[in-house]
Amino acid sequence: MTAAVFFGCTFIAFGPALALYVFTIASDPLRIIFLIAGAFFWLVSLLLSSLIWFVAVTLSSTKDESVQKGLLIFGVLCSVIIQEVFRFAYYRLLKKANKGLMTISQEETSPISIRQLAYVSGLGFGIMSGVFSLVNILSDSLGPGIVGIHGDPPQFFLASAFMTLVMVLLHVFWGVVFFDACETKNWWALIVVIVSHLLVSGLTFLNPYYKASLVASYVIMLLMGIWAFFTAGGSCRNLKRCLLCRDKDFLLSNQRAR
Amino acid sequence: MITFMNSDSEEEVCNERTSLMSTESPPARSYHEGICTEERDKEVQEKRRGSLGNHGDADQCTPDSRGSSRSSSLEEDEEEEELTLKYGAKHVIMLFVPVTLCMVVVVATIKSVRFYTEKNGQLIYTPFTEDTPSIGQRLLNSVLNTLIMISVIVVMTIFLVVLYKYRCYKFIHGWLILSSLMLLFLFTYIYLGEVLKTYNVAMDYPTLFLVIWNFGAVGMICIHWKGPLVLQQAYLIMISALMALVFIKYLPEWSAWVILGAISVYDLVAVLCPKGPLRMLVETAQERNEPIFPALIYSSAMVWTVGMAKVDTPTKGALPKDQEQDEDSSDASGDHSYSATYDSPRCTPLHVPSYAVEELEEEEERGVKLGLGDFIFYSVLVGKAAATASGDWNTTLACFVAILIGLCLTLLLLAVFKKALPALPISITFGLIFYFSTDNLVRPFMDTLASHQLYI
């Protein structure tokens, strides 16, 4: 419960997202706008799901623990589904915007491709989701206190930070796969994305037992990451060329951008 | 989201109406992006006033650009579209950054310095107290407070318009100088004192005097005369933050929210109605080809390149000089809001190299202007959310995102309608909706989730 914990957890959870932002998004104003719009869409989805949960809780006026827990599970399910619906809605909005842009400019290519938009929107969703999950915990970690004094696990902050990191990255991967699935009308991929989201949220129900929830979530994240990589057009050859700095197109385009 | 940014080459409206406007005058080719939104700045006491950035030269360039626009080729149009989109997005980001900075300063101060969240009396413009036994009474009092505040603002706006119409420029400038003096010296002194108290840092009076004197003097020069653009922008952000902090401290809770709502409605009315004071102000300024109160607008104008307006003076150097002369003749104080004025003393030697650079790059950089009142009220909303939302950061963040999206949408509408539009209503509406819904609905949900360590 010191500044070390605060900074450590902040950088664990948001370090990769910040790096992604600085290196890929900050230089292009259009992407920044789409990022914030994605964050806004996630926010609206959260609002709706909170409304549903709140109405359900107010209607069931019992203080019974199990009922409340059941309502919470229902709330989480609703929230995941509404998030995916809003992801789809954002996809449709972006398609319309892109189409509009292309017809106006009468050009072959729009300034931003749907794949880039998928990545940016996923990152927007992820950052907003991570921030909303973690920021209150972080601000508490700055204050005085002892973690786990009543028998709860003392790695609460660390586990929260790692879980947030997983959610941020997962949202990016889900975004990429989701948009591609919508583009190629691959409904199975869509269903897998939704199911994996439900799975990861469900795993957090195991939560003080971090070994299960965190490890499984990371495994899912790695699998989704590999899938998103291949969906976005990556391949083993590409990867090798990129890592060995032999990818001429990439090197050339980087120079041009500078 | 950016589909609106299609530049209608036919309607080059250089409508320098309000706070959101591109300081660039359309060049020989019809590149135009009439990004102007009407903005007005409300000020309570002897404070700031709504100012609409106006470009004296913008009008002059309109006929030229209109002519040239019709003759632009299809290719140019396409290129323009692409560039327009890019530049449209750039304008939005040029406004996001200062608005974000202002809000960050306000939220950081609210969260750390106790002084601005303590109840220590109220302004005389909100005389009714909110410490009443019943909710109905409290609501009534806050509505009355709002009515009084809004009527004060309306009266002052009309007074300003009347003064402007009857060319009492000296009075207006004196008023502006007095208010910036107060902000830069008195409020900074109070702010510094409270910050030092919070961090328990001792400072002796001579050092304090030196610091405040330098800060204030440089601020006055940068804002009312000439100075580096970045410094001027920083000062404008700081005084907006200071003003917002004063509002956050002295406005009682419910009154603050009702006032925010009422001011967005007033903004809408004052800017869009034909007899609205702000619209009249802008039209008068346009008729006279003068900039309006440059001291009250945040300008992000960057290097002006080719096509700085007049066809006969196509170079960068020439125009700033013209402006200087124009302004001097109209008895306005140095126009700080034009970055060009910073260059004007040395415009001649500068003109050649910059022209050469322009030829090389063919890139146009333009600036956008936003009235300080927008900064102030956005920051008031976010600051109030930070101060009163039971220690919750989610509400603050939600309001922040809502305001940014509102600003984005306003620019979108602006590009679609190409008319003067107020910048407050959409952002404040979103901000208010998100504040109340996040505080009452999302917070219990997220708290419950966090206590069970569940993630959605």
The average pLDDT across B333-354 equals: 34
Best of A25, A33, A103 to substitute, by most chain B Cβ atoms within 10 angstroms, is: A33
pLDDT, residue A88, reads 96
Chain A nearest C-alpha distance from B79 (Å):
8
pLDDT, residue B80, reads 56
The residues that bridge with B314 in the sheet, in sequence order, are none
Domain span at residue A147 reads 1-256
Q: Is B312 a catalytic residue?
A: no
> With an 8 Å Cβ cutoff, are B401 and A128 in contact?
yes
Q: How many residues comprise chain A?
A: 258
pLDDT top residue among B238 and B39: B238
Contacts of B429 in chain A (CB under 8 A): none
Q: Specify the pTM.
A: 0.79
> With an 8 Å Cβ cutoff, are A83 and B456 in contact?
yes
Q: Does A128 touch chain B (CB under 8 A)?
A: yes
Query: Please, which pLDDT band fits residue B278 given cuts at 50, 70 and 90?
Result: confident
pLDDT top residue among B141 and B50: B141
Q: What is the mean pLDDT of each run of 10 residues along chain A (258 residues)?
A: 90 96 92 95 96 93 85 94 96 88 66 90 96 92 84 88 96 96 93 95 88 92 94 86 77 63
pLDDT top residue among B332 and A187: A187
CA distance B31 to B10: 10
Q: What is the 3-state secondary structure (H, E, C) of chain B?
A: CCCCCCCCCCCCCCCCCCCEEECCCCCCCCCCCCCEEECCCCCCCCCCCCCCCCCHHHHHHHHHHHHHHHCCCHHHHHHHHHHHHHHHHHHHHHHHHHHHHHHHHHHHHHHHCHHHHCCCCCCCCCCCCCCCCCHHHHHHHHHHHHHHHHHHHHHHHHHHHHHHHCCCHHHHHHHHHHHHHHHHHHHHHHHHHHHHHHCCCCCCHHHHHHHHHHHHHHHHHHHHCCCCHHHHHHHHHHHHHHHHHHHHHHCCHHHHHHHHHHHHHHHHHHHHCCCCHHHHHHHHHHHHCCCCCHHHEEECCCCCCCCCCCCCCCCCCHHHHHHHHHHHHCCCCCCCCCHHHHHHHHHHHHHHHHHHHHHHHCCCCCCEEEEHHHHHHHHHHHHHHHHHCCCCHHHHHHHHHHHHHHHHHHHHHHHHHCCCCECHHHHHHHHHHHHHHHHHHHHHHHHHHHHCCCCC
Contacts of B1 in chain A (CB under 8 A): 33-34, 37, 93-94, 97
Which residues of B sit within 8 Å Cβ distance of A?
1-3, 6, 78, 81-82, 85-86, 89-90, 92-93, 96, 391-394, 397-398, 401-402, 404-405, 408, 434, 437-438, 440-442, 444-450, 452-456
pLDDT, residue B74, reads 56
| pLDDT, tens digit, 9 for 90 and up, residues B111-158 | 999 899 888 888 888 888 888 889 999 999 999 999 999 999 999 989
Chain B nearest C-alpha distance from A172 (Å):
15
pLDDT, residue B305, reads 42
The chain A residue lying nearest B78, using CA atoms, is A105
On the 0-12 / 13-18 / 19+ scale of CB atoms within 10 A, A209 is exposed
Catalytic residue (choose from B41, B64, B267, B439):
B267
pLDDT, residue B366, reads 59
pLDDT, residue A187, reads 92
Cα–Cα distances in Å, from B232 out to A81, B104, B408? 48, 18, 24
> With an 8 Å Cβ cutoff, are A101 and B85 in contact?
yes
Q: Are the CB atoms for B261 and B210 separated by under 8 Å?
A: no
pLDDT, residue B81, reads 54
Q: Does A34 touch chain B (CB under 8 A)?
A: yes
Mean pLDDT (chain B) is 73
pLDDT, residue B191, reads 96
CA distance B9 to B70: 7
Instruction: Judge whether residue B186 has pLDDT over 70.
Output: yes
Contacts of B455 in chain A (CB under 8 A): 133, 163-164, 167, 200-201, 204
Q: Does A156 touch chain B (CB under 8 A)?
A: yes
Chain B nearest C-alpha distance from A247 (Å):
28
Q: Is B331 a catalytic residue?
A: no
> With an 8 Å Cβ cutoff, are A201 and B454 in contact?
yes
| C-alpha closest to that of B38 among B48, B25, B24, B51 | B51
Contacts of B411 in chain A (CB under 8 A): none
Contacts of A200 in chain B (CB under 8 A): 455
Query: Please, which pLDDT band fits residue B31 given cuts at 50, 70 and 90?
Result: very low
| pLDDT, tens digit, 9 for 90 and up, residues B356-377 | 333 334 444 556 778 889 999 9
pLDDT, residue B79, reads 58
Which member of B437, B441, B455 has the closest CB to residue A133? B455
Query: Please, which pLDDT band fits residue B329 given cuts at 50, 70 and 90?
Result: very low
Domain total of chain A: 1
Lowest-pLDDT range of A186-195, B70-79, B313-322: B313-322
The average pLDDT across B438-447 equals: 92
Lowest-pLDDT range of A188-202, B72-86, B98-112: B72-86
- CB contacts under 8 A, A 185-224 vs B, are 200-201, 204-205, 207-208
pLDDT, residue A233, reads 85
pLDDT, residue A19, reads 96
pLDDT, residue A154, reads 86
The chain A residue lying nearest B450, using CA atoms, is A133
Contacts of A30 in chain B (CB under 8 A): 2, 85-86, 89
Residue type, A119: Y
> With an 8 Å Cβ cutoff, are A204 and B455 in contact?
yes
Which range of A56-65, B244-253, B409-418 scores highest in mean pLDDT? It is: B244-253
Q: Does A75 touch chain B (CB under 8 A)?
A: yes
pLDDT, residue B379, reads 96
State the complex-level ipTM: 0.92
Q: Does A139 touch chain B (CB under 8 A)?
A: yes
Instruction: Judge whether residue B439 has pLDDT over 60.
Output: yes
Instruction: Judge whether residue B160 has pLDDT over 70.
Output: yes
Chain A nearest C-alpha distance from B451 (Å):
10
Cα–Cα distances in Å, from A176 out to B7, B93, B101, B335? 32, 25, 31, 49
Contacts of A116 in chain B (CB under 8 A): none
Chain A nearest C-alpha distance from B2 (Å):
7
| pLDDT, tens digit, 9 for 90 and up, residues B203-220 | 999 999 999 999 999 999
Joined together, the tokens standing for residue B207 give 């050092």
Best of A50, A78, A197 to substitute, by most chain B Cβ atoms within 10 angstroms, is: A50
Catalytic residue (choose from B64, B77, B374, B439):
B374
pLDDT, residue B150, reads 94
> With an 8 Å Cβ cutoff, are A30 and B89 in contact?
yes
